């Protein structure tokens, strides 16, 4: 049985991670910590588990692992402390608000040898797995371009929590949060970009980016578009892969494939890979097996994502994280 401590409830996904843990055999929530004592104590009461206001006492409480949903800018301090205490680490993205902080965490994790995982759920999505299979088989010929968009109306419809775009806590805006998904999806398919640029705008006047497009060149001349926003309504995830012999289009769960060999006519795709287990379930399994990380959710994936996001902010001339 893996005893888990919930490390912060700042992030909006914290309650869903707690709910997931309660359904995973071999895992139990054994402690809660939060920098906001009132928030943390209330959450601990909901979960029927002890609350610790002191981080050291929390880590010394007998837990085996932490699920970190604290503010992004707090990750370096909290996660290095957890790693040095020998606790396995599952963290919400990003790993840190800048590369310096991410590398500090990575060094502590490597030194301690604990299991590490970062939440990159779109990697397990059937459409993304299907695209990866097409690319690996060469079914689209030589890939020339790709696009992934994930956006919502969190700011324009005013349902994101107060302070969600506060640079002192979040480190940035839409790209730092929701934009991580397009970043790690395209980087997972094509590797690290060799150059990039970015444009960011603020439609609602928050202190961080709200509407962002990152353009990247990957190896072999592949051009990638990574799009995100907190100011759009009713947009499903959009994934497009273009190649010399065919193209794939995914709009939410609807996927079509157009191949030159089949006359170029769009054909609905009905047979897809099964979704991968949730990243948190993969993390618990890795802890039980004594593995360093679940495949595709480890330190190198986390570091690459942070480096790309940081480079995009720099390219846009919009340094929104505390190191600037």
Superfamily of domain 2-121+279-297: NAD(P)-binding Rossmann-like Domain (3.40.50.720)
Tokens linked to 3: 């005893």
**How far from 37 is each of 9, 151, 174, 274, CA to CA, in Å?**
11, 32, 28, 41
Which residue reads 């963290």 in tokens?
A: 91
**How far from 252 is each of 39, 164, 174, 263, CA to CA, in Å?**
35, 25, 20, 25
What would the pLDDT profile of 79-98 be if each residue is shown by its tens digit? 999 999 999 999 999 999 99
β-sheet with 195-201: strand ranges across: 195-201, 211-217, 223-229, 143-151, 238-243, 246-251, 254-259, 267-268
The sign of the torsion formed by the CA atoms of 284, 286, 290, 293 equals: negative
DSSP string, 179-243: THHHHHHHHHHH-S-SEEEEEEE-SS--SS-SEEEEEEE-GGG-EEEEEEESS-SS---EEEEEE
What would the pLDDT profile of 104-153 be if each residue is shown by its tens digit? 999 999 999 999 999 999 999 999 999 999 999 999 999 999 999 999 99
- At residue 321, the pLDDT reads 40
Q: Residues 218, 265: contact at Cβ < 8 Å?
A: no
Task: Enumerate residues 6+ apart whose C-beta is below 8 A from 136.
Answer: none
pLDDT at 320 over 70: no
Task: Enumerate residues 6+ apart whose C-beta is below 8 A from 164.
Answer: 12, 154, 170, 177
Tokens linked to 274: 């099964």
Dihedral angle over CA of 75, 78, 84, 90, nearest 10: -60
- Do the domains 2-121+279-297 and 125-276+307-316 sit in the same CATH topology, yes or no? no
Residue ranges covered by each domain of the chain? 2-121+279-297, 125-276+307-316
Average pLDDT, the chain: 95
Identify the band that residue 163 occupies on the pLDDT scale cut at 50, 70 and 90: confident
Q: Could you give phi then psi for residue 21, rounded to 5 degrees?
A: -60, -35
What would the pLDDT profile of 40-50 be if each residue is shown by its tens digit? 999 999 999 99
Residue 76: name the closest of 51, 108, 44 by CA: 108
Does domain 125-276+307-316 match CATH 3.30.360.10? yes
């Amino acid at each position: 049985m893996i005893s888990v401590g919930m490390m912060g409830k700042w992030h909006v996904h914290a309650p869903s991670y707690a709910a997931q843990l309660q359904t995973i055999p071999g895992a139990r929530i054994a402690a809660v910590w939060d920098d906001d004592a009132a928030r943390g104590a209330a959450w601990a009461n909901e979960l029927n588990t002890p609350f610790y206001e002191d981080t050291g006492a929390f880590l010394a409480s007998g837990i085996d692992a932490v699920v970190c949903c604290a503010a992004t800018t707090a990750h370096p301090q909290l996660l290095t402390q957890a790693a040095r205490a020998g606790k396995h680490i599952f963290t919400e993205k990003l790993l840190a608000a800048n590369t310096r902080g991410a590398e500090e965490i990575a060094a502590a994790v490597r030194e301690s040898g604990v299991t590490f995982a970062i939440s990159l759920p779109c990697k397990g999505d059937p459409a993304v797995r299907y695209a990866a299979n097409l690319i690996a088989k060469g079914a689209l010929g030589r890939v020339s371009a790709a696009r992934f968009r994930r956006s919502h109306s969190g700011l324009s419809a005013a349902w994101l929590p107060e302070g969600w775009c506060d640079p002192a806590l979040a480190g940035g805006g839409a790209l730092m949060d929701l934009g991580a998904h397009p970043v790690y999806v395209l980087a997972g398919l094509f590797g690290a970009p060799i150059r990039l640029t970015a444009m960011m705008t603020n439609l609602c006047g928050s202190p961080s980016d709200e509407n962002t497009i990152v353009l990247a060149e990957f190896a072999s001349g592949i051009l990638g578009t990574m799009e995100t926003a907190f100011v759009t309504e009713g947009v499903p995830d959009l994934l497009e892969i273009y190649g010399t012999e065919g193209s794939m289009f995914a709009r939410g769960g609807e996927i079509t494939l157009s191949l030159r060999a089949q006359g170029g006519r769009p054909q609905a795709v009905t047979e897809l890979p099964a979704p991968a287990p949730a990243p948190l379930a993969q993390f618990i399994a890795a802890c039980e097996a004594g593995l360093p990380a679940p495949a595709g959710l480890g330190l190198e994936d986390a570091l690459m994502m942070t480096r790309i996001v940081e480079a995009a902010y720099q390219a846009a001339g919009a340094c929104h994280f505390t190191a600037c």
